[in-house]
Amino acid sequence: MHGGRDVANDASTVFDVVILGGGSGGYAAALRAAQLGLSVALVEKGELGGTCLHRGCIPTKALLHAAEIADETKEAAEFGVLATFQGIDINGVHKYKDDVIAGLYKGLQGLVASRKVTFIQGEGKLSSQTSVDVNGQRIEGRHIVLATGSVPRSIPGLEIDGNRVISSDHALKLDRIPKSVVILGGGVIGVEFASVWKSFGVEVTIVEALPHLVPLEDENSSKLLERAFRKRGIKFELKARFSGVEYTETGVRVSTENGKQIDADLLLVAIGRGPVSAGLGYEENGVAMDRGYVLVDEYMRTNVPTISAVGDLAPTLQLAHVGFAEGILVAERLAGLKPVPIDYDGVPRVTYSNPEVASVGISEAKAVELYGKDKVVTLKYNLAGNGKSKILKTAGEIKLVQVKDGAVVGVHMVGARMGEQVGEAQLIYNWEALPAEVAQLIHAHPTQSEALGEAHLALAGKPLHAHD
Ligand SMILES: Cc1cc2nc3c(=O)[nH]c(=O)nc-3n(C[C@H](O)[C@H](O)[C@H](O)COP(=O)(O)OP(=O)(O)OC[C@H]3O[C@@H](n4cnc5c(N)ncnc54)[C@H](O)[C@@H]3O)c2cc1C
């Protein structure tokens, strides 16, 4: 029985939508489709909630919060508070993290059940353009949504053994705090783990092939993060291509093409994630693919009229909230509504390290490419002028990118808690606000959102707490 209905004994059941994969993309599609009155089957081989809830966003953010508490305890005396940092109880940290996951997992299961989604536990496979096979049963649907997500990727010849060479999945369950770690990859995941481990007292070195950490961000944000990481004692090798790893008596020795060798207890491979599509019947049933990704148009339609794909399986931004939005878009389209395509530049991006890096819109480099150098105006507002940031003792900047005499097309922020400011930044970008319009809005004092207000005051030509 699934969701009160015995699908196995009901051969006549044809669902409006069958969704393969119950992660952020799949379950969002299921919830919205059910809300719009469609009958929905959701097939999941593991746990509802997928990567984000169980192995991604939520556990990493719990670890980062524990890391923040560790740092604040160590620095308590700077605020006149007497506290002694005794160390990290890693089992306690895991318990806290797992409790957060368990609570959200329970809530999500309840939500799916209450919307009358037929949840089918099992590994599914696309068996035709209108069916999925699972547990020896054929589930028919007028429409199929592929949402099988992604898994950690490695590079040829680098085997993730789960012991000394690990992926983020292993790192989240590590029952010890290593003395030293090399992290391969300075993107979001690598940088977040570097931040956590440093706060937990680990010696961390990031190896990144590109010239900067968080290389997809505006260069100014990367440089500010690098400065902050240097100050925190997080080491990084940039423009350093990995050439090999060997086991030593106590751990690993990582080599780079430019001749560096770094010894550590562990190597975390954080070079990205690859789509889960092999052997699932996609190609056999005519779905157009590219390097394992399912190709989609702006409405998340594949080349097969009865099949859509959402989330990390599609070659769009690999973020949970993108998965949610794509799932909702598909559900609304299938229900006959007229959803608008997603503007991926308008999706907020946050790296939750200490300090946080948050952005929306396009970088200065991209704006110059699109509009020409003469048409692009930028402004940097230093958080040193922001009372609340000063109280928090955080350093950083907000950088705005504007089309000359036009809208703000990029907001790039670095500093503690800047992820919480990205909501307003996103409204500014997505509503194509002019600096003078944002300057009209009064921001509460003293908040960090005020820094966003002040940056726009300055860009509108009437700076308040800003030095010329
Ligand atoms: C360490 C880490 C931190 C992250 N932090 C953030 C963050 O802070 N913010 C953010 O927005 N994003 C974050 N992400 C990315 C985010 O987790 C993903 O973008 C999101 O989970 C993608 O959702 P999805 O539904 O496409 O895929 P997934 O969440 O991977 O879900 C796919 C589901 O399909 C199931 N499945 C696969 N094959 C089958 C099959 N054959 N039959 C049945 N079920 C199947 C899987 O079991 C899985 O549950 C993070 C990722 C990682 C790894």
The whole-number average pLDDT for the span 383-402 is: 97
Query: Which residues fall in the annotated binding site?
Result: 61, 124, 148-150, 185-192, 208, 272, 312
The whole-number average pLDDT for the span 277-291 is: 98
Confidence of residue 465 (pLDDT cuts 50, 70, 90): confident
- Pick from 443, 410, 432, 72: nearest CA to 221: 410
CATH label of the domain that carries residue 415: 3.30.390.30
The whole-number average pLDDT for the span 114-135 is: 98
Residue-wise pLDDT tens digits, 330-362: 999 999 999 999 999 999 999 999 999 999 999
Ligand 1 atom index nearest CA of 172: 1
Among residues 271, 288, 314, the one where a domain terminates is 271
Is 343 among the domain residues?
A: no
Among residues 242, 271, 300, the one where a domain terminates is 271
Residue ranges with strand state E in 213-347 = 235-237, 242-247, 252-256, 261-264, 266-269, 273-275, 289-290, 293-294, 307-309
Q: What percent of the chain has pLDDT over 90?
A: 96
Alpha-carbon distance 284 to 455, whole Å?
53
> What is the whole-number distance in angstroms between the Cα of residue 376 and the centre of ligand 1?
37
Q: Is pLDDT of 4 > 50?
A: no
Among residues 251, 271, 291, the one where a domain terminates is 271
Positive/negative CA dihedral, 152, 156, 158, 162 = positive
The whole-number average pLDDT for the span 76-96 is: 98
Is 256 among the domain residues?
A: yes
Is 347 among the domain residues?
A: no
Q: Is pLDDT of 188 > 50?
A: yes
> What is the whole-number distance in angstroms between the Cα of residue 23 and the centre of ligand 1?
5
Q: Are 185 and 229 in the same domain?
A: yes
Q: Are 19 and 148 in the same domain?
A: yes
* Residue 468: predicted pLDDT: 61
Token pair listed for 344: 């991926």
Q: Are 245 and 289 in the same domain?
A: no
Q: Is pLDDT of 10 > 80?
A: no
- Which of the residue ranges 4-13, 24-33, 339-348, 455-464 would you say has the lowest mean pLDDT? 4-13
- The count of other CB atoms within 10 Å of the CB of residue 253 is 15
Is 283 among the domain residues?
A: yes
Q: Are 115 and 169 in the same domain?
A: no
Known catalytic residues are 445
Q: Is pLDDT of 7 > 60?
A: no
Q: Is pLDDT of 406 > 60?
A: yes
Confidence of residue 9 (pLDDT cuts 50, 70, 90): very low
Q: Are 386 and 319 in the same domain?
A: no
Q: Are 135 and 25 in the same domain?
A: yes
Is 341 among the domain residues?
A: no
Token pair listed for 149: 């997500």
**Residue ID of nearest Cα to ligand 1 atom 5:** 57
CA–CA distances in Å: residue 25 to residues 19, 293, 323, 331, 390: 10, 15, 4, 11, 39
Judging by beta carbons within 10 Å of its beta carbon (0-12, 13-18, 19+), is residue 468 exposed, middle or buried?
exposed
Confidence of residue 466 (pLDDT cuts 50, 70, 90): confident
Is 468 among the domain residues?
A: no
* Residue 212: predicted pLDDT: 98
Ligand 1 atom index nearest CA of 280: 41
**Residue ID of nearest Cα to ligand 1 atom 3:** 56
Q: Is 22 in the pocket of ligand 1 (CB under 6 A)?
A: yes
Q: How many domains does the chain have?
A: 3
Choose between 2 and 10: higher pLDDT.
10
CA–CA distances in Å: residue 319 to residues 124, 310, 312: 23, 11, 7
Confidence of residue 1 (pLDDT cuts 50, 70, 90): very low
**Residue ID of nearest Cα to ligand 1 atom 34:** 21
Is 300 among the domain residues?
A: yes
Q: Are 29 and 125 in the same domain?
A: yes
Q: Is pLDDT of 417 > 90?
A: yes
* Residue 13: predicted pLDDT: 87
For residue 129, the enclosing domain spans 15-152+275-335
> What is the whole-number distance in angstroms between the Cα of residue 50 and the centre of ligand 1?
5
The whole-number average pLDDT for the span 300-325 is: 98
The whole-number average pLDDT for the span 253-265 is: 96
Positive/negative CA dihedral, 199, 200, 202, 208 = negative
CATH label of the domain that carries residue 207: 3.50.50.60
Residue-wise pLDDT tens digits, 214-227: 999 999 999 999 99
Q: Are 177 and 240 in the same domain?
A: yes
Q: Are 127 and 197 in the same domain?
A: no
β-partners of residue 381 are 398
Q: What is the mean pLDDT of the chain?
A: 96
Q: Are 291 and 147 in the same domain?
A: yes
The whole-number average pLDDT for the span 113-120 is: 97
Is 350 among the domain residues?
A: no
Alpha-carbon distance 349 to 360, whole Å?
6
Residue-wise pLDDT tens digits, 438-448: 999 999 999 99
3-state secondary structure of 253: strand
Alpha-carbon distance 217 to 321, whole Å?
18
Q: Are 318 and 359 in the same domain?
A: no
The whole-number average pLDDT for the span 251-268 is: 97
Q: Are 143 and 180 in the same domain?
A: no
Residue-wise pLDDT tens digits, 36-54: 999 999 999 999 999 999 9
Q: CB within 8 A of 312, min separation 6: which ones?
A: 23, 25, 51, 149, 150, 273, 275, 318, 323
Q: Is pLDDT of 6 > 60?
A: no
